[in-house]
Structure 1
Amino acid sequence: MPASVLLIDDEVLVRRGFRHALEEAADVVVLGEAGRAADGLLLAQRHRPQVVLTADVTQLTRLCGCASGGVIVLATEGTDEHLHRVLTDGARGFLLKRASHEELVAAVRAVAQGHAFLCAEMTARLLDRFEILPPIEELDRGLGSLSDRERQVLVRMARGRSNEEIARELYLTCATVKSHVSHVLAKLGQPNRMHAALLAQRMGLLSRAG
């Protein structure tokens, strides 16, 4: 089933651009849009979307209760304080309004599936702060050891794809994709696919992959 989305933003052009990007994805459907959180809450209570994208966080806690997957907060600029506040209030995702259409769709897919999603800029800052990643030389060696197919799998992991989606895109079986994921984690020295995806974003693999 497609991921159902509700958009809330007081800028009509922003909503129009995001809606266009989401409707380009075959696995996403936009149920409606609103300019204010109060109006968006009424739509959310009526339609019960999987994901709410909102720039207005005045009703954030109540919106979280209406979205089966979660709420993604849209921000013009990302500060640590803002991120901490919205995550504490229940948001499952954080995205800058200047995000690419690809990152927007990846965020919706991830949150619709019950995962969390942070935009690449905030991810990089958090990684720098908590030093999750090993030294850059070690990362380069790990990435260099990946086969072409493993690199393709890693890029799709970073885009929020599930094993089933990766299998369809690369014409592989789910068992083969699972094996590739295990090899990627081992070669990169990462404990899980989330950390591997963060690493791919940090190292710029998404932009290089086109």
Structure 2
Amino acid sequence: MTAVDTRVLIVDDQTMVRQSFHAVLAAQPDITVVGEAGNGADAVRAATRHRPDVVLMDVRMPVMDGLEATKQILGNPDLSVRVLMLTTFDVDEYVYGALRVGASGFLLKDAPLEDLVNAVRVIAAGNALFAPAVTRRLVAEFAARRPDPVRSDRADRLTAQELKVLRLVARGLSNTEIAAALVIVEQTAKTHVSRVFAKLGVRDRAQAIVAAYEMGIVVPGDGN
């Protein structure tokens, strides 16, 4: 095990899928597969036992689905873990719900296996949103189906500059891209992003995007 080793738990109700992901990830020098689970209930127990850094979580499973399992795992204060949702659907309301409760992003099961490896590394490194443009599209689609957004007092806590930053986060921009868009240094952009997260009470970019749509700070189809 190397100093940068990432511990991964694979959760999927299809044995062949688990075995495929396990083989690919275990072959990486910086990733260790610490366990597998075939349903959400087993995933919760396995996460507590193995304490992974990243959980690959299937959405639709028997006994307990991926949404409830994600809630329970991320709600455990004794765990420091990030969840990457896996789905066969590029627009899946379960995934939207998972993002709301703190999942770090999602990946389609039919994505190339190298994308899976990269996603694990990206999320383990603390870059909370994999494929941000796709996640933003998913959030926007479901936000469009909800009642009119309600502006909460959380939005009022943000300065004008922080609102600009949140809109750029919701477009899927990285800190480097936000810095370029606002003509500020990257460290300042990073500080603004961190303050936005703190004021909104969100843990990462995925939840920030959801919050931005739900509060009406950005709207579906908004490209600005």
TM-score, with length taken from structure 2: 0.53
Deviation at 1:69, TM superposition (A): 3.6
Deviation at 1:63, TM superposition (A): 1.7
Residue from 90, 110, 115 that aligns with 2:102: 90
State, as a whole percentage, how many aligned pairs show the same letter.
Answer: 39
Rounded to whole Å, the distance in 1 between the matches of 2:111 and 2:132 is 9
Deviation at 1:190, TM superposition (A): 5.7
Deviation at 1:80, TM superposition (A): 6.1
- Cα 1:74/1:63, change in 2 over 3 Å: same
1:13 aligns with 2:25: no
Deviation at 1:37, TM superposition (A): 1.0
Q: Unpaired segments of 5 or more residues in structure 2?
A: 59-64, 142-175, 190-224
Deviation at 1:65, TM superposition (A): 3.9
- Cα 1:45/1:19, change in 2 over 3 Å: same
Residue from 62, 86, 98 that aligns with 1:74: 86
Amino acid of the structure 2 residue aligned with 1:62: Q
Three-state SS of the structure 1 residue aligned to 2:107 is: strand
Asked if the contact 1:7/1:15 (under 8 Å) is kept, the reply is yes
Equivalent residue, structure 1, for 2:28: 25
- 1:56-67 equivalences under 5 Å are 56-57=65-66, 58-65=68-75, 67=79
Amino acid of the structure 2 residue aligned with 1:78: D
Equivalent residue, structure 2, for 1:36: 39
Asked if the contact 2:53/2:124 (under 8 Å) is kept, the reply is yes
Asked if the contact 1:69/1:111 (under 8 Å) is kept, the reply is no
Asked if the contact 1:8/1:54 (under 8 Å) is kept, the reply is yes
- Cα 1:20/1:117, change in 2 over 3 Å: farther
Asked if the contact 1:7/1:54 (under 8 Å) is kept, the reply is yes
Equivalent residue, structure 2, for 1:102: 114
Deviation at 1:14, TM superposition (A): 0.6
Three-state SS of the structure 2 residue aligned to 1:99 is: coil
Asked if the contact 1:69/1:113 (under 8 Å) is kept, the reply is no
Amino acid of the structure 1 residue aligned with 2:122: A
TM-score, with length taken from structure 1: 0.57
Aligned residues between the structures: 140
Asked if the contact 1:96/1:119 (under 8 Å) is kept, the reply is no
- 1:173-188 equivalences under 5 Å are none
Q: Unpaired segments of 5 or more residues in structure 1?
A: 130-181, 194-210
Greater helix share, structure number: 1
